Structure 1
Amino acid sequence: MQQGSRIVTLDNGFHLFTRTVGTGKVNLLCVHGGPGGTHEEFENFAEHLKAHHVRVSMYDQLGSFYSDQPDFNQPENRKYLTIDYYLSELEEVRKKLGLDQFYLLGHSWGGLLAQEYALHYPQHLKGLVIMSMIDNLEEYTANVNQEREATLTSREVRYMREVEADHRFDDPKYQELVNVLNRHFVMRHPENGFQHNVATMATPVYNYFQGDNEFVMVGQLTKWDRRADTHQIKTPTLLTFGDHDTMPLDTAERMHREMQNSRLVYTPDGGHCHSTDNPKAFFHTLGEFLDDVETHKFKTVETVGRHTYAKK
């Protein structure tokens, strides 16, 4: 497999940025969140997983960062704003990178695509990592609303709802409150993350699927629900969440019970971006999972509702 950065041309003619780093027999393909995020959240994975002999591949999805960014306002491009498209894109990237019997890690929106991939293409997977994503968006919406009400005053919550009803999302006070929530539940330690001089989120993609921010779920993803299918995922699976995640942890517990071959681990002092918040704990969990599957020591946890906290 070619190392470093590489542009792949899709069958639809668009170009995607891909990057492969690290050496070893273990192949890990990472799918970024957002929707509309970037591959950069995985740039440090190979270094942290060096002792586990992992080769990490990542890419920017259509519309994101270094990949082609079509004008989604054009009717001919609207067809790409679907889960089915991004799932097919993931499978095409796998083929073009020459991956098979690989580990697939998806963060947030990427975790949604990872679940879809495991249901459609399980024959290619050796292991699955679902990072901060549940199997439906209804329970997510209820949870972020509860987190907002528990963190802010009733007056602040009312103000946010008034701004949202008027679609005044650039209101300074509103943005301050969003930042408070982000610091509690999205990225608790942004000082550990990378910095840019310009915004890198693909907002047309994010707004279409999600909404204006993580606490306003009004996009097309509100319709996504795989609760009836979770039990069909048989691939050895790591479910990993921050202990202060935007995702409901009781739903994570339920998924763990229903998936016959899963392990559930919470990262302490971690939000939705817990690989950034607490990298030491997160990469210990991920490395241990990869080693256990590789050495055939991965075991299904039979105790109902059992989970563990990653080592600090």
Structure 2
Amino acid sequence: MPKINPNGTRFITLSNGYHLWTQTQGTGDIQLLCLHGGPGGTNEVFENFAERLAPYHVRVSRYDQLGSFYSDQPDFNDPANREQFFNIEYYVDEVEEVRQQLGLDHFFLLGQSWGGVLDIEYALKYGEHLAGVILSSMIDNLDEYITSVNQIRESMFSADEISYMHTVESQHNFSDAHYQELVAQLGEEYLHHAADPQPRHLISTMATPVYNYFQGDNEFVMVGALKDWDRRGYIQQINVPMYLTFGGHETMPLGAASRMAAEAQHALLHVTPHAGHGQMLDNPDDYFAGLGEYLTDVHTGRFND
């Protein structure tokens, strides 16, 4: 058998036969596995995590979930594939397979947005493998998020614009050009709050079938399967140190984040100033300083001292 460098880029083969793109970078005793958002997003938001966390001696692993960008793309028009893969349980068990194949244990798991859903579910099912949990812009239910994002809409747009959006949504005419412009304003203001341009591609990298099934058509229209996800009352069952990090100007309600921090056994809440839902892009200096300090404190036994 050829010896594979534990760092670098490689594809792993799951027990279902599909392949996932993975990459591990950095050195140190602290192991961090990152779960991207979406659903159907990509690993790329974590591209510089190993570099930014190098002063804290963190080894960072990331991957594209099944159906996303560099990883295999099942035919989601096939009902059998939809039944097998379009559920949270599949993606949680996928995290466990990735952990095993990358040789991680007593590791930190960071979930960004949708990745935070998987983070919570993984901690409840496979918590014995974790050193800590990082929820990056994700709360423990979708009800409070839906309320928050629609309150943002009410504050951003005029009564006529809101009426227009509701009409488009009732007609399922989501490709309407003006409607798309209004939705894009939400993204520029709350998903990515910084003035600097965000990473761009020449083509769409979103796994649209995955996003549409779990989320819906956009951030305002939460009609997908994920809308009923609710783990309120379960956070206190997670017995490893938790780090809850949110942007100060984002779509997730900070009130819910404060509640979670109070309910958890061992938790620290951090709000990244001048940042939206993509905190690590909007204000990286603050984001990585807080994350690095948390990882170091837990690793050295100083957390919550």
Q: How does 1:3-42 map to 2 (within 5 A)?
A: 3-42=7-46
Asked whether 1:44 is paired with 2:48, we answer: yes
Provide the residue aligned with 1:277 in structure 2: 282
Provide the residue aligned with 1:303 in structure 2: none
Provide the residue aligned with 2:204 in structure 1: 199
Deviation of the 1:149 alpha carbon: 0.1
Q: d(CA) in 2 for partners of 1:28 and 1:170?
A: 39
* Alpha carbons of structure 1 residues 29 and 190: separation in structure 2 relative to 1, 3 Å: farther
Asked whether 1:2 is paired with 2:6, we answer: yes
Q: d(CA) in 2 for partners of 1:15 and 1:7?
A: 6
Provide the residue aligned with 2:232 in structure 1: 227
1:153 to 135, 152, 158: 158
Deviation of the 1:220 alpha carbon: 0.3
Provide the residue aligned with 1:101 in structure 2: 106
* Alpha carbons of structure 1 residues 103 and 299: separation in structure 2 relative to 1, 3 Å: same
Q: d(CA) in 2 for partners of 1:195 and 1:143?
A: 27
Provide the residue aligned with 1:218 in structure 2: 223
Q: d(CA) in 2 for partners of 1:82 and 1:173?
A: 33
1:263 to 268, 272, 297: 268
Query: Quick one: which amino acid aligns to residue 184 of structure 1?
Result: E
Gaps of 5+ in 1: 301-312
Q: d(CA) in 1 for partners of 2:230 and 2:274?
A: 28
Asked whether 1:188 is paired with 2:193, we answer: yes
3-state SS of the aligned residue for 1:135?
coil
3-state SS of the aligned residue for 2:196?
helix
Q: d(CA) in 2 for partners of 1:243 and 1:145?
A: 17
Listed one character per residue, the Cα deviations across residues 226-262 of structure 1 (whole Å, up to 9, x for unaligned) are 0021111111000000011111110001101100100
Query: Quick one: which amino acid aligns to residue 241 of structure 2?
Result: P
Deviation of the 1:151 alpha carbon: 1.1
Scaled by the length of structure 2, what TM-score is found? 0.96
2:132 to 88, 106, 127: 127
* Alpha carbons of structure 1 residues 111 and 175: separation in structure 2 relative to 1, 3 Å: same
Listed one character per residue, the Cα deviations across residues 104-160 of structure 1 (whole Å, up to 9, x for unaligned) are 000000001000011111110001100000101011101101010011111111111
* Alpha carbons of structure 1 residues 65 and 86: separation in structure 2 relative to 1, 3 Å: same
3-state SS of the aligned residue for 1:121?
helix
Gaps of 5+ in 2: none
Scaled by the length of structure 1, what TM-score is found? 0.94
Query: Quick one: which amino acid aligns to residue 171 of structure 1?
Result: D
CA contact (8 A) 1:192 1:277 kept: no
Query: Quick one: which amino acid aligns to residue 116 of structure 1?
Result: E
Q: d(CA) in 2 for partners of 1:108 and 1:117?
A: 14
Q: d(CA) in 1 for partners of 2:22 and 2:194?
A: 27
Query: Quick one: which amino acid aligns to residue 287 of structure 1?
Result: G
Q: d(CA) in 1 for partners of 2:80 and 2:185?
A: 39
Size of the aligned set, in residue pairs, is 300
Provide the residue aligned with 1:179 in structure 2: 184
1:209 to 207, 214, 221: 214
Asked whether 1:71 is paired with 2:56, we answer: no
1:141 to 142, 146, 149: 146
Listed one character per residue, the Cα deviations across residues 14-59 of structure 1 (whole Å, up to 9, x for unaligned) are 1100011111111100000000001111010011011001110000
Asked whether 1:248 is paired with 2:253, we answer: yes
Deviation of the 1:192 alpha carbon: 5.0
Q: d(CA) in 2 for partners of 1:192 and 1:51?
A: 26
Provide the residue aligned with 1:310 in structure 2: none
Query: Quick one: which amino acid aligns to residue 95 of structure 1?
Result: Q
Q: d(CA) in 1 for partners of 2:250 and 2:239?
A: 25
Between 1:155-164 and 1:106-115, the stretch displaced more is: 155-164
Provide the residue aligned with 1:117 in structure 2: 122
CA contact (8 A) 1:190 1:276 kept: no
Query: Quick one: which amino acid aligns to residue 33 of structure 2?
Result: L
Deviation of the 1:191 alpha carbon: 3.0
